[in-house]
Amino acid sequence: MEKVVLITGATSGIGLACARKFAKNGDKLILTGRNRQRLAEIQKELTDVGTEVLTLVFDVRDREAADRALSELPEGWREIDVLVNNAGLALGLEPEYEGRFEDWDTMIDTNLKGLLTMTRFVVPGMVKRNRGHVINIGSVAGDAAYAGGNVYCATKAAVKALTDGLRIDVAGTNVRVTNLKPGLVETNFSNTRFHGDTERAANVYKGIKPLTGDDIADVAVYAANAPEHVQIAEVLILATHQASGSVIVRQ
């Protein structure tokens, strides 16, 4: 059955891969992001292959902008079936006692408060309709801290707690809640983390075949299309030569 799928941070990496995979699955897409031009390009790419796409330009840290964008959804787009809370980032890999306050605020405001804002605005409609699915993009980083991961790991541990908490709160309804926890995925993630140092970013994926956004999107589409009585609660997805956040065997 065709679903309305809203993906945050759909302009790059895992979010973009989810957009393409859900489009292939025949769903209608609400793609959100900060980069208006990129969103328009992706909208064109997907409408050209027959997908209905609506784009919303806002920063998930801006609660008012999110509220405005969602409350102005046109007829036919208001009943969101799947919310993919994907927008997020890591900034820096410094020891906790040397981290930058600004980076910490950005990670907490985006990965944690942004996800919570979207959940708060979208899930009441799901509960009312007794139908829906929230897919949060957590991380292996939320399972255990790794060197320099401190605040980023804390935000992803919080995503796990919020996902588990929401699952408890909607357990009496047909709304399903999933935490997808990828390991190393080659996207723009490390470029962002290292503030545009592309060489340092490339080193993260040296000597190991990392996951791709598509690998994660496959699991998201699977979870969203599982039979109604099946709730894929949590999935840890690692590259074959990665065993945990800090154990990576490079060839």
Total of residues contacting ligand NDP (CB under 6 A): 30
Which among ligand 8X3, ligand NDP, none contacts residue 245 (Cβ within 5 to 8 A by kind)? Answer: ligand 8X3
Which among ligand NDP, ligand 8X3, none contacts residue 132 (Cβ within 5 to 8 A by kind)? Answer: none
Q: How many residues does the chain have?
A: 251
Q: CB neighbours of 95 closer than 8 A, spacing ≥ 6?
A: 147, 148, 150
CB of 248 to ligand NDP, least distance (A): 11
Cα–Cα distance measured from residue 37 to residue 35, given in angstroms and rounded to the nearest whole number: 6
Q: Where are the beta strands (DSSP E) in the chain?
A: 4-7, 28-33, 53-57, 82-85, 132-137, 175-182, 234-237
Contact at 8 Å (CB) between 20 and 188? no
Cα–Cα distance measured from residue 188 to residue 219, given in angstroms and rounded to the nearest whole number: 20
Q: Which residues of 158-180 are buried (b: 16+ CB within 10 A; e: fewer)?
A: bbbebbeebbeebeeeebbbbbb
CB of 14 to ligand 8X3, least distance (A): 10
Residue from 4, 6, 15, 81 binding ligand NDP (CB under 6 A): 15
CB of 227 to ligand NDP, least distance (A): 26
Q: CB neighbours of 155 closer than 8 A, spacing ≥ 6?
A: 88, 107, 108, 111, 112, 142
CB of 62 to ligand 8X3, least distance (A): 23
What x-and-dash track marks residues 92-121 binding ligand NDP by CB under 6 A? ------------------xx--x-------
Choose between 121 and 205: whose C-beta lies nearer to ligand 8X3: 205
Q: Does 55 bind ligand NDP (CB under 6 A)?
A: no
Q: Does 150 bind ligand NDP (CB under 6 A)?
A: no
CB of 191 to ligand 8X3, least distance (A): 12
Active site annotation includes 152: yes
- DSSP state at residue 142: G
Choose between 51 and 110: whose C-beta lies nearer to ligand 8X3: 110
Contact at 8 Å (CB) between 155 and 139? no
Interface ranges with ligand 8X3 (CB under 6 A)? 139-141, 149, 183-184, 245
Amino acid identity, position 175: V
Which among ligand NDP, ligand 8X3, none contacts residue 43 (Cβ within 5 to 8 A by kind)? Answer: none
Q: 97, 146, 152, 205: which is the annotated catalytic residue?
A: 152
Q: Would you name the residues annotated as active-site residues? A: 152
